[in-house]
Amino acid sequence: MILVLEYAAGGEIFDQCVAEREEAFKEKEVKRLMRQILEGVSFLHRNNVVHLDLKPQNILLTDESPLGEIRIVDFGLSRVMMNSEELREIMGTPEYVAPEILSYDPVSTATDMWSIGVLAYVMLTGISPFLGNNKQETFLNISQMNINYSEDFDLVSESAVDFIKSLLVKKPEERATAEECLQHSWLAQTDVPNTVFWTKNTEKKQMILL
């Protein structure tokens, strides 16, 4: 058997999420990549597929410089959701799992949207919003919605923060859908300055690699 696969020369977007300041994503780049991610996720959701492990390690780039297009990979945890079926499973990467997974409530397409909110936060700041010193602390941060939009977002546009806030909502039914995200004002803007947004707090840059 011979498999012919596309080569993602740019590697994981994770590498640039934790890169040094001059190599980190710029907000206009995050917008372009996020729009592509949402178009892919919207296609999955329209076909009743949930990914359930969206994170920077599972988003690849076709090229590194100039920045290429994205490819969503690793569907090992993905599920086909039927309308009459409820899925309850403890799965995913600790930093990116939604509250309903931790409370063992049914997962849905909204579960992916929570992960996209975390992903946008990481891409814009280089910081994992709910990461604790261990798994238990991380899960507690998620369950209690311990999230900070202050110092790490000093130079990030207000519409970008609003985009993240529309996704990091505890109740799944109140989160924006992929289609709604694509209509958000942040992704419609074309005048975001070409500025790298980063934090001086290097201790928070550590992220769990699973």
Are 51 and 43 in contact, with CB atoms under 8 Å apart?
no
Per-residue pLDDT tens digits for 32-46:
999 999 999 999 999
66: preceding bond cis by omega (within 30 degrees)? yes
H or E stretch covering 99: helix 99-102
Q: Where are the domains of the chain?
A: 11-78+87-189
In angstroms, the CA 160 to CA 105 distance is 29
Catalytic one of 15, 53, 112, 152? 53
Cα 44 to its chain centre, rounded Å, is 15
What does pTM read for this prediction?
Answer: 0.85
Decide if 63 is catalytic. Answer: no
Q: At residue 109, what is the residue type?
A: T
Task: Give the model confidence (pLDDT) of 181-207 as tens digits.
Answer: 999 999 986 554 444 434 334 343 344
Q: Is 202 exposed, middle or buried (0-12, 13-18, 19+ CB in 10 A)?
A: exposed
CATH-assigned architecture of domain 11-78+87-189: Orthogonal Bundle (1.10)
d(C-alpha 29, C-alpha 17), whole Å: 12
> What is residue 43's three-state secondary structure?
helix
What's the pLDDT tens digit per position in 112-170? 999 999 999 999 988 899 999 999 999 999 999 999 887 778 878 999 999 999 999 99
